[in-house]
């Protein structure tokens, strides 16, 4: 690990001397193991679509009650056989029970909460935060949490919250802020809808398979809902990685915010050469 | 027209009194004809894909040489039968000649320039600009041009330029800034890649059919290029609206920046009620 760190350092030094900074891909290839965090299997979900899997990591640091409720739904297989019902261009993909709210709605398993108070912000105290130097139109400070999630912080109030960036997973709700329970989920597939920050609960993000959501046919109904039931995209299963067969499991590692590779990588992305 | 304007004003007044501001859709429904601009047919292009049309309006105010070269290519039918070769998730869709730069490249018609100086900015003098009140991380002032195109302005230098927002159309190029000629085109399909502003020439924007580009399968090669020729999406035709048969033509109207409906609509979007 030390040798790898040394190699990464050397690579940057050599590149600096040659006036050609290493590319983001070169930095990742040379990164030491210690710059990476293993995603815990108990927070890792697999959304199985007909086209393949989408892997999601939960964010219990920010939405503990929503994450816990979602895990109960997932462990009970509650989402299996439901569907993606809404794909709104430059906005969100959303899945859940298309019959929600009607007489034929799928009942919740024992122990699942029907409504959870929105988890829109929390105290920033004790929360790791790797700041970005860039200005932001929506928050005083922006950067990343320990998990590498896009995060905003405000010293006036001492509060922190997750930001609605591409690939973030949220809990759909009705009009009231406390009207969701993580049985209806959405993923951001367009320009970051930051006006939703502190307005709707975010509870995780997509790690892999994002293109299986972003390339889905758009719905032609209001808010991008599919107008015909047959247009809906089946949710084959939504499972915890822990509950998958060993051969179906995938391990993920995510770059640690603030690590040497992270710092060099974000800087390389800021001044990128590739088109 | 006067009666319609009066109606729109009344609607806003009634809504204000009732404490429920009109929705964006209600504002558009009540808008007077004078708040709309007709898109000139000579600046309107139809990109015909197997799934249907994508309509594009050129931006000759900002990229006159690129727009003129593109019109020559289009009038000669140069793009017909070429393909979309690149779809990079959360970034761009790009089309042109997959053999460009090789011995089998499609030759350019007479009068088409092979290289054009990049058109990255221009003088703001005499250029209509409807400012947005929102802060921006990339430019001193942001707002919209007379065409309703996303635009940035800088009083220090007196310059103006187009912004890489969702749906904007740009001219692909090689490493050098002056290495494009509008024979390779891209459209932004993800979070606005504003780092490309003043870096690559923008020459128009998609008016309709955006979802036919944004929902295309992503390419699995580097930069989102399709790895297999058969994965490429055919460009059936790229035509000027003027050259289409009368029954194929579509007329577009775009809201005039700064008009009463525009102002009320942007404000309604800023405080929107729908999810």
Instruction: With beta carbons less than 8 A apart as the criterion, state whether B261 and B255 touch.
Output: yes
Mean pLDDT value of segment A138-153:
97
- B214 — alpha (psi -120 to 50), left (phi > 0) or beta? alpha
Q: What is the DSSP letter of A98?
A: T
Q: Do A215 and B218 touch (CB under 8 A)?
A: yes
Residue A258 tokens, joined: 């603030």
Q: Which residues contact A267 (CB under 8 A, 6 or more apart)?
A: none
Rounded to whole angstroms, the Cα distance separating A193 from A91 reads 7
pLDDT confidence of residue A8:
55
Least confident of A71-80, A90-99, A264-273, B33-42: A264-273
Q: Do A135 and B134 touch (CB under 8 A)?
A: no
pLDDT confidence of residue B13:
53
**Nearest beta carbon to residue B190 from set A135, A166, A274:** A166
User: Which residues of chain B carry a pLDDT beneath 50?
Assistant: 1, 275
How many pairs of residues across A and B have Cβ atoms under 8 Å apart? 65
**Nearest beta carbon to residue A217 from set B172, B195, B215:** B215
Q: What is the DSSP letter of A267?
A: H
Least confident of A119-128, A169-178, B208-217: A169-178
Mean pLDDT value of segment A151-171:
97
Rounded to whole angstroms, the Cα distance separating B34 from A114 reads 50
The pLDDT tens digits for A26-83 are 999 999 999 999 999 999 999 999 999 999 999 999 999 999 999 999 999 999 999 9
ipTM metric: 0.91
User: Which of B:187-216 have CB within 8 Å of A?
Assistant: 190-192, 195, 200, 210-211, 214-216
**Nearest beta carbon to residue B89 from set A89, A90, A211:** A211
Q: Which residues of A touch B197 (CB under 8 A)?
A: none
**Predicted confidence band of residue A178 (pLDDT cuts 50, 70, 90):** confident
**Nearest beta carbon to residue B191 from set A192, A195, A216:** A192
Calculate how close chain B gets to A142, using CA atoms only, in Å: 12
Rounded to whole angstroms, the Cα distance separating A184 from A90 reads 19
- At residue A19's C-alpha, the angle toward residues A18 and A24, to 5°, is 100
Instruction: With beta carbons less than 8 A apart as the criterion, state whether B186 and B93 touch.
Output: yes
Q: What is the mean pLDDT of chain A?
A: 93
Asked if the C-beta of B269 comes within 8 angstroms of chain A's C-beta atoms, the answer is no
- Rounded-to-10 torsion of CA A122, A124, A127, A129: 120
Q: Which residues contact A263 (CB under 8 A, 6 or more apart)?
A: none
Residue A131 tokens, joined: 């700041």
Asked if the C-beta of A248 comes within 8 angstroms of chain B's C-beta atoms, the answer is no
Query: Which residue's structure tokens are 């000649």?
Result: B97
Instruction: With beta carbons less than 8 A apart as the criterion, state whether A239 and A46 touch.
Output: yes
Q: Do A190 and B191 touch (CB under 8 A)?
A: yes
Q: What is the DSSP letter of B219?
A: P
**Predicted confidence band of residue A1 (pLDDT cuts 50, 70, 90):** very low
pLDDT confidence of residue A58:
98
Rounded to whole angstroms, the Cα distance separating B189 from B209 reads 12
| β strands within chain B, DSSP E | 36-38, 44-49, 52-58, 83-87, 92-96, 122-123, 130-131, 141-144, 150-154, 159-162, 168-171, 185-188, 202-208, 233-234, 237-240, 253-255
């Amino acid at each position: 690990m030390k040798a790898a760190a040394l190699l990464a350092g050397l690579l940057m030094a050599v590149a600096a001397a040659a006036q050609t900074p290493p590319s983001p891909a070169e930095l990742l290839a040379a990164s030491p193991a210690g710059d990476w965090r293993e995603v815990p299997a108990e927070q890792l979900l697999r959304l199985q679509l007909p086209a393949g899997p989408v892997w999601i990591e939960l964010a219990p640091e920010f939405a503990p009650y929503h994450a816990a409720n979602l895990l109960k739904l997932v462990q009970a297989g509650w989402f299996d056989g439901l569907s993606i019902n809404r794909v709104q261009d430059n906005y969100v993909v959303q899945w859940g029970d298309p019959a929600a709210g009607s007489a034929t709605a799928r009942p919740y398993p024992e122990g699942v909460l029907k409504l959870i108070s929105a988890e829109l912000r929390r105290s920033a105290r004790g929360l790791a935060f790797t700041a970005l130097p860039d200005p932001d139109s929506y928050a005083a400070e922006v950067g990343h949490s320990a998990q590498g999630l896009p995060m905003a912080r405000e010293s006036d109030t001492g509060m922190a919250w997750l930001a609605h960036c591409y690939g973030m997973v949220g809990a759909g709700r009705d009009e009231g802020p406390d009207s969701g329970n993580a049985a209806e989920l959405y993923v951001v597939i367009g320009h970051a809808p930051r006006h939703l920050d502190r307005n709707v609960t975010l509870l995780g993000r997509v790690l892999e398979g994002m293109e299986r959501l972003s390339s889905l046919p758009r719905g032609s109904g209001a808010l991008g809902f599919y107008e015909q039931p047959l247009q809906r995209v089946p949710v084959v299963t939504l499972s915890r990685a822990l509950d998958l067969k060993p051969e179906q499991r995938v391990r993920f590692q995510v770059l640690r915010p603030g690590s040497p590779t992270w710092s060099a990588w974000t800087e390389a992305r800021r001044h990128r050469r590739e088109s």
